Structure 1
Amino acid sequence: MKAASLLLPLLLAACASAPSARADDPSAAAVDAQLPRYHWRLDQATGQDGKRIEALFARPDKPLQLDFANGHVHVSNACNAIGGSYRLENGHLHVDALMHTMMACMNASLNALDHEISRTLAGTPAVRLENAAGTPHLFLVTAGGDTLDFAGVPTPETRYGGPGQTLFLEIAADTQPCPHPLVPGKQCLMARERHYDAQGLATGAPGPWQPLYQDIEGYTHEPGVRNVLRVKRYAVAHPAADAPAVAYVLDMVVESEQVRR
C-alpha cells in the first residue's frame, strides 16, 4: 500500500542568512568560531539550588541538542523545532526572535521541555567553553543561576575536514545480495541519484541503480520502504585498507513510500 510522501522544497538548499553580529572581544570570536564545529548535546543541567532540572531531560534517549550555523541556533530533540538568529556580546548569548513550529505536544513533559529551553535561550545566558578529557563543553548560565552543560560531538564537516557535497539518493525498498570479499552473503542498499530544481520538483532522469557497499550515517533502512534521502558526501582523507574513500551522512528524508509486496 502506498503511503503519503512528503517533499520539502524549502529545505532543498541550505538556509542563507546574514552573518550575526560579532563582539570585538577576541575571546568571543574564538567561542563563535567553535560553536558551528560541534553538535552540542545536553549532558547536565542544574538549578541555583544544585538540583537537576528534570524538565530538560524529558527525552533520555534523545538528548536536547543545539546546533549553530549561518548565524542561527537550532534546537532539536524537543517537541517542536526551535531556533532563531544569535550573536555573542560581552560573554552572553543573544537569541533574537526565537521561533517555534506549531506541533501539538500531547506529552506534558515535552511541553515543559520546550518551555524550559526556550526560556533559557531567551534569557541571554552567559556563555563559556571548557575542555574536559578532550571533549569540549558549552556552558550556558542564566541570570537565575541555572547552568546547562552541553558536550560537543564533532559535526561531519569537522570530522572529515571540510564541507560535503549535497546530493539526493533514492533508496530501493529492499536490499540485494552484493559480492564482497570479506563479508560472505552481504546485502547492500540499492541506490540511485535523483535531481531536483529550486522549487523541489524532480528534474531529469534518475541515475542507474547501483549497490551501495557502505552505510549512510544516521540512516536506518526499513525493509519494504522506499526513501529519497538528502545526504552529504565527504571525502575520507586516509581510508583504511578496503574501506570506502567517501562517507555518506543523512541530512534529511525527503520522500518515503511503503512499497506494495
Structure 2
Amino acid sequence: MKNILKIVSYTFAMTFLMIQCKPMPNSTSGDEKTFIIASQAVDCTGVAPMKCLQVKEKESDSWGNFYSNIEGFTYEPGFEYVLKVKTEKIENPPMDGSSIKYTLVQQVSKTKK
C-alpha cells in the first residue's frame, strides 16, 4: 500500500511539474539582432521602385539593402542608428512581402552624420 501511495504521489508531482513548464519568452517566437542603419537611404527596386535603408549587423560588414520596415522605428535621414531588433517568422507571408517581421526593441544610438 505504501508503494502505491509513493507511486501515485510521484506521478502527481511529475504531472504538476510538467504542466508548470512553459517555454521561455521569445524562445521560439524570434531572435534579437543588432542592426546598424546608414545615414542615407538608397534607391532600390522591390515590387516597385522604392527607397531602402542600408543595414549591416557588424561594423566590418558591407551595407545591404533592407526591403522591409522595422515596426516602432522612425528613420530620419542624416543620422546613423544602432538598433536592437526582434525578428519573428511570419507564418503565411504575403507573396510580395517579407517572411520576417522586424520590431524595434531598443534604439541604442542615433549619431548625426
With the length of structure 1 as denominator, give the TM-score of the two structures: 0.32
Aligned mate of 1:215, from 60, 65, 69:
69
SS at match of 2:45: coil
CA distance in 2, matches of 1:163, 1:241: 21
Higher alpha-carbon Rg = 2
Q: Distance in 1 between matches of 2:60 and 2:36?
A: 9
SS of aligned partner of 2:80: strand
Q: 1:167 to 1:240 in 2, by over 3 A?
A: same
Q: How far apart are the structure 2 equivalents of 1:255 and 1:175?
A: 18
Would the aligned equivalents of 2:29 and 2:89 in 1 still touch at CA under 8 Å? no
Percent of aligned positions that are identical: 29
Instruction: Establish whether residue 249 from structure 1 lines up as the match of residue 103 from structure 2.
Output: yes
SS at structure 2 position matched to 1:243: coil
- Please give the secondary structure, in 2, of the residue aligned with 1:188: strand
- Which protein has greater RCO, CA pairs closer than 8 Å, 6+ apart? 2
Q: Secondary structure at the match of 1:227?
A: strand
1:239 is matched with which residue?
A: 93
So what's the TM-score if we normalise by structure 2? 0.72
- 1:227 maps to 81
Q: In the comparison of the two structures, how many residue pairs are matched?
A: 89
Task: Report if aligned partners of 2:55, 2:66 keep a CA contact under 8 Å in 1.
Answer: yes
Q: Distance in 2 between matches of 1:206 and 1:219?
A: 24
Please, what is the CA RMSD of the aligned residues? 1.8
The 1:167–1:206 alpha-carbon spacing in structure 2 relative to 1, beyond 3 Å, is farther
Q: CA deviation at 1:242?
A: 1.4
Partner AA of 1:220 in structure 2: T
Unaligned ranges ≥5, structure 2: 1-21
CA distance in 2, matches of 1:206, 1:244: 25
Q: Unpaired runs of 5+ in structure 1?
A: 1-32, 34-69, 71-156, 195-204
Letter in 2 for 1:212: F
* Matching residue of 1:188: 52
Q: How far does the alpha carbon of each residue in 1:21-63 deviate from its partner, in whole angstroms, 9 at most, with x for none?
A: xxxxxxxxxxxx9xxxxxxxxxxxxxxxxxxxxxxxxxxxxxx
Report the Cα distance in structure 2 between the residues aligned to 1:236 and 1:207, rounded to whole angstroms.
Answer: 26
